[in-house]
Structure 1
Amino acid sequence: MMKLSQTRLAAACLALAAWLPLQANAGLLSDDEARKAIIELRAKVDAIDRDLKARIDTKSDKTAALDMLNQHEQTMTEIARLRGQIEELANHIAQTEKRQKDFYADLDARLKKLEPQQQTIDGRQAEVMPSEKKTYDAAMDVFKSGDYKAAASALQDFVRRFPTSAYAANAQYWLGNAHYAQGDFKNAIAAQEVVVANYRDSAKAPDALFNIASSYRDLNDKKAQKKALQQLIKEYPDSSSAQAAKDILAKLK
């Protein structure tokens, strides 16, 4: 009877030793399956431990007890090895979860770079793509540096690439200023006329008309200058540029 019990025990231990390493192969398991395998593995380890201790406690024969003790020590060694596999599997799950979190965080950051962003432009809220803002800011940085020729090129490129952008009116306005700063009054007028024609509701429209008048002044065309100032006063009477236009008209008479 004792021999039969030992044989069954050995068979059970062998089956467990063969089954458990297969379950510890984390690369073949999903996280849920891995967690389930850990729970089942721990339960079987504890059951074997309790069973062996119970068997040793009930044996009166010293030889049988020593034999069972040896088996117990071998099993405990195997249990220690399997617990190491459990720790590896748990560590694999933790690393997998961290990689997933990092992946989704990176994906979210990438998506935000492709989504429109709220910006305040001349006191108005507007949605612009990050690429629009980056290109516009770069062009304005060139303008502020005093390189008006390069700024004109950059601003012209912006309005060509983003004609419907919320920054388009401002870019067109500063394009006119870039031409004016170079003494190119005809192109300055042409650029500002686009602002007046295409972006009449823009906050830059009154200033564009004022700059048109200033360019005509520098071209010694007083008639065209007065016409631009009168148009400014008529179409944008409440603007600060209109008040300045009134003062200049009074001096021209």
Structure 2
Amino acid sequence: MKRLLPLAAFLTFASVGPAHAQLFGGDTEARNQIHQLRQDVQGQLETTGRGQLELAMQNEQLRAEVARLRGQIELLTNEVETLKQRQKDFYVDLDARLRQIETGAPAARAGGDPAAESADYEAALNLLKEGKHQDALTAFDTFLTRYPNGSFSAGAHFWAGNAALQGRDTASANKHFNAVLQNWPQDNVAPDAMLGLANSQQAMGDAAAARRTLQGLVERYPQSNAAQVARQRLSAR
């Protein structure tokens, strides 16, 4: 009986040995799998982190671009407002000078309505001051049809020419400026009309015609403010 005990113990160890080895071998494989899994997760985290960093950088670039564009829009808006104010000031100043000129204008023709004529002229002029160039041109054309020989005819043609020029209608501008020069060459608005004609010719791309008109302006109206402007332009070319 005692001889059988060592044999049983040996058989038991022998049977447990492979299972024990199998257990440790399986544990190593599990650790390898866990290690691989950790590496995969770490790689995904690093990839996700880089993606988030790139996205954050792109967002920051977009914010900077939006801020830059807003700055440009604000700058352009200010420039437009400045130009509008300058244009308005120009019209107000020139209108004031013309009002002084037109105080000595001839009376309206018999049977006319001076008050209505003045009101219609003012209405057309106000449209021009508001920057409504096409509406102003239409109003001045209507005015000239209604009062062809009125006391404001020369001024109406002059302002109609300016309205047309501002609206890039150079053909109409030329027509109205030339009407002043042909019908009222001695009127005080004539020098400014001739300067307007040069501006219109320049806008049409006819620099040679514009130069000839400026030279003619200096010769015909040498003492006028418009002639002074013409001299400055001629000397700059």
Provide closer, same or farther for how the CA distance between residues 154 and 125 of structure 1 changes in structure 2, counting only shifts above 3 A.
closer
- Which whole-Å CA distance do the structure 1 matches of 2:199 and 2:227 have between them? 13
- Which whole-Å CA distance do the structure 1 matches of 2:169 and 2:148 have between them? 23
Q: Are 2:130 and 1:145 equivalent residues in the alignment?
A: yes
Match of 2:171 among 182, 186, 193: 186
- Which whole-Å CA distance do the structure 2 matches of 1:121 and 1:246 have between them? 23
- Which whole-Å CA distance do the structure 2 matches of 1:130 and 1:121 have between them? 18
2:77 matched to which residue of 1? Answer: none
Gaps of 5+ in 1: 1-118
Give the superposition deviation at 1:127: 2.8
Q: How does 1:1-253 map to 2 (within 5 A)?
A: 121-124=101-104, 126-128=106-108, 129-252=114-237
Provide closer, same or farther for how the CA distance between residues 246 and 131 of structure 1 changes in structure 2, counting only shifts above 3 A.
same
Give the superposition deviation at 1:124: 2.0
- Which whole-Å CA distance do the structure 2 matches of 1:120 and 1:168 have between them? 15
- Which whole-Å CA distance do the structure 1 matches of 2:201 and 2:106 have between them? 33
Q: Under a length normalisation based on structure 2, what TM-score does the superposition of the two structures give?
A: 0.53
Identity of aligned residues (%): 30
- Which whole-Å CA distance do the structure 1 matches of 2:195 and 2:101 have between them? 20
* Partner SS for 2:195: helix
Count of equivalent residues: 134
Asked whether the 8 Å contact 2:105–2:151 carries over to 1, the reply is no
**Greater Rg by CA:** 2
Q: Under a length normalisation based on structure 1, what TM-score does the superposition of the two structures give?
A: 0.50
Give the superposition deviation at 1:125: 5.0
Provide closer, same or farther for how the CA distance between residues 220 and 160 of structure 1 changes in structure 2, counting only shifts above 3 A.
same
The runs of at least 4 aligned residues of structure 1 exceeding 4 Å deviation read none
